Chain A
């Protein structure tokens, strides 16, 4: 039984999601309180636009409500499921508003900006602010660029190859190696925190 620390009544994430899906008002408030920061944070990281990120976060939470009964705990946690919804919506928004891939270093800067939490945003958990930023900074540049385009930009390997001026096979390798390496770096950052 997973329970995300923070606001709430001590309910498990799974039970809370079920009650949220049933439209129970206090469960709705608790579910939103518990997860809106993570959902909005990911959307802002990927989009860099607070208004667009807000729209994506809003739709992600609504989809969680609409499809609560589709959640399967055997496939992962509620947070994982919710962030996957958020990421897919953010990718759609990226493609809609930025048909051409953004420079990867710009996206890395967006991650940093979201972490640093400017005046319009509030970083809630300071110990989590720099984990992803630090991990990204420790990737080899070529892998970082490929990973950022693929993971946060939703770009295919072919689009990464075109953007970076590299063969398709090289793009695929950078994405695969970067994915595995970044996961290791994120895990080690989490253990250090």
Chain B
């Protein structure tokens, strides 16, 4: 690791703020920031500039289905991430408030509007009729997750994945009740997690399994629908 001067850090500050600094330079820069408040302020100002620019990007309504898939995945118990205890006082206070809000939100729901007041397609509650199955690792692999299938039109399959391997790519294979299979694309794992979805063609038989295969074709995980 190279010890940087403030002048050297200043030259790297914009890239550091933008998250585009190569790994070794980043390590050197972070080490300098650990001990230099003035340079931290310089980077903070550039980071705020980036945040302002990014926040000015257009607001665009996503395609229908995105919100419902995410809502389905995040309210299912099958892929709940392990939660560390909240330690920071502010986080504990927020948690207490959120629990109180959760109780308030548990009041009987009215019909959920299909669009919000801003015209955005509404996520709504998890779509009824969605079938879910846990993704179970096979043969010593460490990939886990959950698979969600909406069989009715518009039919889709959606998967959330966690993997000990920070960066990897898997292919997804759908197995139908009549035995035929469909290679349905790939899911990329970045930072240990990933998600994947695909619109489904009309089928006469339901999906019975989803196979997740490594790049060499080895079966890494499987979800089975009862």
Total A residues in contact with B, Cβ cutoff 8 Å: 92
Q: A6-B116, A96-B188 are in contact. Are A62 and B70 (CB under 8 A)?
A: yes
A58, B112: Cβ atoms under 8 Å? no
- Of B59, B102, B105, the residue contacting A38 (CB under 8 A) is B59
Total CB contacts across the A-B interface at under 8 A = 254
A15, B98: Cβ atoms under 8 Å? yes
CB distance from B147 to the nearest CB of A (A): 14
Q: Can you name the residue of chain A whose Cβ is closest to the Cβ of B197? A: A58
Interface residues of B in 84-113 (CB under 8 A from A): 84, 86, 88, 90-91, 94-95, 97-99, 101-102, 105-106, 109, 112
Q: Is B35 an interface residue (CB 8 A)?
A: no
Of the listed stretches B45-53, B135-143, B174-182, B205-213, name the one at the interface; the rest are far from the partner chain.
B45-53
B53, A182: Cβ atoms under 8 Å? yes
- Of B56, B60, B195, the residue contacting A117 (CB under 8 A) is B60
Q: Is B151 an interface residue (CB 8 A)?
A: no
* Chain B: number of interface residues, binned into ranges: 35 or more
B57, A157: Cβ atoms under 8 Å? no
Q: Is B75 an interface residue (CB 8 A)?
A: yes
CB distance from A2 to the nearest CB of B (A): 12
Complex interface: chain B residues within 8 A of A55 (CB): 195-197
B51, A45: Cβ atoms under 8 Å? no
Q: Which are the 3 A-B pairs with shortest beta-carbon distances?
A: A7-B116, A32-B123, A18-B98
> Which of B's residues lie within 8 Å of A, judged by CB?
11, 13-15, 17-22, 46, 48-63, 66-67, 69-71, 73-75, 77, 80-81, 83-84, 86, 88, 90-91, 94-95, 97-99, 101-102, 105-106, 109, 112, 116-120, 122-126, 160, 188, 190-191, 193-197
Given contacts A26-B109, A54-B197, 12 further A-B contacts (CB under 8 A): A14-B94, A22-B102, A25-B126, A36-B123, A42-B54, A62-B73, A65-B73, A73-B94, A80-B55, A111-B58, A150-B14, A190-B56
18 pairs, CB–CB < 8 Å, chain A vs chain B: A14-B94, A18-B91, A19-B98, A24-B105, A27-B105, A29-B112, A29-B123, A41-B58, A65-B81, A69-B83, A88-B19, A92-B190, A123-B61, A135-B56, A156-B15, A172-B14, A179-B14, A179-B17
